[in-house]
Structure 1
């Protein structure tokens, strides 16, 4: 597979001067849809992975192998650069190195390692805690040590803005920049004051998730050095609702021909590459 080409395209976003919204994807068909609609990159979140693979909430019960396998399925299906949320790296710094190795092999264009204490320790249920800055910086160095393709982007991720304060987020971001990561991924930044505090502390390009409405303006974000801004993971939730509504309608007696919101055959054939498969069958199978 041509991983380097998509990694180059992903890096070009961060070398540019505009912020973009990635498409939240979770399987081969969803990434093909995002690619067809013109998204510059796809985003595969750990929370969505847990829902997709296990039908479980985002409590770090998904394993690295399960996450990497689904990321590979997504990457195999198209050419869209894929950013993934690798959570805490599935363990300590040694595990982080292994996580990077596996996800690089799975074809991702970028991945983030966060400084949240995960899985939640005994006695801390429901309370988000952060590891020390020193441990976080060690994890970033471990992530970089696991990288073989220099085109793969490593992000230092912190939720400190919503857990402690913006000053702590700035301090942690600066430490991860010093460790050598390619970009900073900020989660939970709600105000311009918070974003500007972090921006003053680091020179690296930024990615943000869980942003507040005050800063959700692409011109403003672009000027602040933000190059990717998430828009939630609504596509997966919409897919769940559509399946629920369709099954409910069928259970209640609606005829299949009367169902609403069903993908037409033309769309399904296009997304499944039906014409390509038929051509191969004629060529190879007679």
Structure 2
């Protein structure tokens, strides 16, 4: 499946009438598994990227090059469309241009650009936003940088929990006026807040971390939420599994005593072992 086809699939999702749970993915195997078990879209979150690539928390340490290279590896392994959290675009509006170019070439189906001030400012513990005008400039730069018009650009704001829902609406409407394909909101806490946002905008919505009050998929769909991100449990599950296995080995467990390991059939499945053997037979003259 070509990159353009993957982007077309994401656009179909955004144009639809359902709210989907994306698969939180962070490497080649996680994306391949998500595709194989039937997810329609993957979400490559900034926190998952930082953990997978650096082993660090989500404090804007990962670089654009590292993020794009990880996306490139994932795009090679599977064809599931991936929406990438591109954070603040790794700098100012000119840096945003390069961010879009690199992620487009790496195979992302879409990406989000947010208005959070990153990295964290000196001496300020509370999360901050960039100015309204700077946010608009970043969105404008992202749209201008697109080489493939099918690449989905999502304008993201965290204003709902940092300043106010009213500010989130003002910023979102400005990003909408620039021509983004969808809007992403984080920090929305109540149904009333989401309803106000939905009433004030017209584009498809990506919602980060819906609260229990909002966790009604018909309600979310009715508010034009097309993707609702529910955290990044898979990488936490993988971390726990690796920790438990290594701890058991360190404590002296024999290979046969280890619990929770993937079967040989599952490993063959996710590594496409049968396909590799077929290719080896075709081009290397090896027996299958």
TM-score (norm 2): 0.97
The unaligned stretches of length 5 or more in structure 1 are none
Alignment of 1:140-219 (within 5 A): 140-219=139-218
1:172, 1:53 → 2: CA distance?
A: 32
Q: Is the 8 A contact 1:17 1:225 kept in 2?
A: yes
SS at match of 2:183: strand
Q: CA RMSD in A?
A: 0.9
Q: Corresponding residue for 1:30?
A: 30
Question: Alpha-carbon deviations, 1:155-202, whole Å to 9, x = none?
Answer: 000111111111111111111101111100111111011111211211
The unaligned stretches of length 5 or more in structure 2 are none
Shift of 1:232: 0.7
Q: Does 1:55 align with 2:52?
A: no
Q: Corresponding residue for 2:19?
A: 19
2:198, 2:73 → 1: CA distance?
A: 35
Shift of 1:255: 1.3
2:189, 2:271 → 1: CA distance?
A: 39
Q: Corresponding residue for 2:248?
A: 249
Shift of 1:283: 1.6
How many residues are paired up? 285
Question: Alpha-carbon deviations, 1:105-144, whole Å to 9, x = none?
Answer: 00101100000001112112x3100011111011000000
Question: Alpha-carbon deviations, 1:191-224, whole Å to 9, x = none?
Answer: 0111112112110010011221111111000000
1:100, 1:119 → 2: CA distance?
A: 19
SS at match of 2:43: strand
Q: Corresponding residue for 2:131?
A: 132
Q: Corresponding residue for 1:75?
A: 75
Q: Corresponding residue for 2:277?
A: 278
Q: Corresponding residue for 2:121?
A: 121
SS at match of 2:11: helix
SS at match of 2:200: coil
1:189, 1:216 → 2: CA distance?
A: 12
Q: Is the 8 A contact 1:161 1:168 kept in 2?
A: yes
Q: Does 1:44 align with 2:44?
A: yes
Shift of 1:272: 0.3
Shift of 1:252: 1.0
Shift of 1:74: 0.7
Shift of 1:228: 0.1
Shift of 1:281: 1.2
Runs (4+) of structure 1 exceeding 6 A deviation are none
TM-score (norm 1): 0.98
Q: Is the 8 A contact 1:89 1:99 kept in 2?
A: yes
Q: Is the 8 A contact 1:188 1:212 kept in 2?
A: no
Q: Is the 8 A contact 1:173 1:201 kept in 2?
A: no
SS at match of 2:17: coil
Q: Is the 8 A contact 1:88 1:115 kept in 2?
A: yes
SS at match of 1:185: strand
